[in-house]
Amino acid sequence: MTPITHLAALLLLLPAVFGQDDGDHWLQWRGPDGTGMAHGTAPASWSSAEDVRWAVDVPGRGCATPIVVGDRIFVTTAVALDATPEPGERGEFHGGGGPQPEHSFELYCLDRNTGATLWKRVATTAVPREGFHRQYGSHASASPVSDGTRVWVSFVEEGVYCYDLAGELLWSTQLGVPVTMRRQFGGGTAPVLAGDALILLCDQEGDSFLAVLDAATGEERWRAARDEPSTWATPLVTEVDGRTQVVCSGTTRVRGYDLASGDVVWECGGLGLNVIPNPLRVGDAVLAMSGYREANLLAIALGKEGDLTGTDAVLWQSAKGTSYTPSPVLRGTEYYCLTDRGFLSAFDAATGEPFYLEERLPRGLLYKASPVGAGDALLLLAETGEVALIRMGRGFEVLAELPSLAVSEDEMFLASPVVVEGALILRSTDRLLCIGPDEK
């Protein structure tokens, strides 16, 4: 397949934007192209809360990155409905941290220009059986996805929901199996849209699976069992030799599935435990990464079939510079990896050559949000709300260190930044903020 043909095939898989420029949208959690790169630039400086265009409270607790459809922002949250019950009455937080109250699982639609709530929908109310990481998790950790006219939301065991932009519920469905994540860390894998297919990955401590639903009706087309423990990496959808594949990173294997049938086309071992970063495509290869135990970064050639473990299909690999929680950013063949403890690495994705490895970021901050590229700057959002701007390219250079906009010591920034039409949208555990150009 020629590069031009390959690009055309990829464009067919992207959500429709119905005549609006991609810069007007952020339809999935890793941006317009799924690479972490924005279409356009972001604000390069601010000094205080006076530079915030608007800020609004979001009830409950959520860690999911918002999405943007034109002038509308969609964000999920989970709201505790009553006081914490006595021990033994309801589900436990991870590590046996205590029982959980009933929660309201909600989707908000906000005006991008003002932050005003246009509508709110309660998808369901339930007592969660699964917990979440008390410091870094929530019951609403998976980003929505949109095609420009509809929005799909996954609350894992609490169901999958499809709404139109006016908030009408079009359909809902349940996964049909109990979900138990490692140490009750909770789910967070975002649904993926590919044409008329909605892709849901559920790797857990029980019956792991990859499922494809009809995006218009919610009817299940197929479900493939997976021999995988808990992972949180959102799948990659890409076309290989005229065949659409769903690439899923996993501890046991990275696998490429045929989107039409659910058959495994290829698989490759080599990653470690707790796989979180998204796989990405570079040319005719997939880059898959893990950063916890037995950390590794693999470049796996596409176009082959069967078990590729230990073969020449593994084009290169690196045990250094890999990310645990944040997903990478890809600009051309520049591949950027951020560690939770604030070290940044950059690779030539085509060759594996490191431009630099594990450069320490300023101020010794911690990071859970995935970085975002905008223009020539890489935006790195720390847990406490500070932002470092790094020049993208072969050399490591700090462009700016921007102050936190947090209003309390308890406010944390775990969701990834969103860049739309020159504005920067940040979601904390408590609020949604917009920094950037005034309303047109």
Question: pLDDT tens track of the chain, all 440 residues?
Answer: 433 333 333 433 443 333 334 668 999 999 999 999 999 999 988 876 678 999 999 998 888 999 999 999 999 998 988 765 544 433 444 434 456 788 899 999 999 999 999 999 999 998 887 766 666 667 788 999 999 999 999 988 889 999 999 999 999 999 887 777 776 667 778 999 999 999 999 988 889 999 999 999 999 999 999 999 999 899 999 999 999 999 999 999 999 999 999 999 999 999 999 999 999 999 999 999 999 988 999 999 999 999 999 999 999 999 999 999 999 999 999 999 999 999 999 999 999 999 999 999 988 899 999 999 999 999 999 999 999 999 999 999 999 999 998 989 889 999 999 999 999 999 998 899 999 875 54
| 72, β-bridge pairs | 69, 111
Maximum separation of any 2 CA atoms in the chain, in Å:
63
Domains of the chain by start residue, with CATH: 3-435 (2.130.10.10)
DSSP run (H or E) holding 7: helix 3-13
Joined tokens for residue 180? 């138990």
Q: Tokens 């079009």 — which residue?
A: 170
Q: Could you tell me the end-to-end alpha-carbon distance of the chain, in angstroms, rounded to an integer? A: 42
Q: What is the pLDDT of residues 28-40, one digit of tens each?
A: 999 999 999 999 9
Distance between alpha carbon 322 and the CA centroid of its chain, in Å? 17
Reference 302, options 368, 227, 236; nearest CA is 236
Q: What is the pLDDT of residues 338-385, one digit of tens each?
A: 999 999 999 999 999 999 999 999 888 999 999 999 999 999 999 999
DSSP 234: P
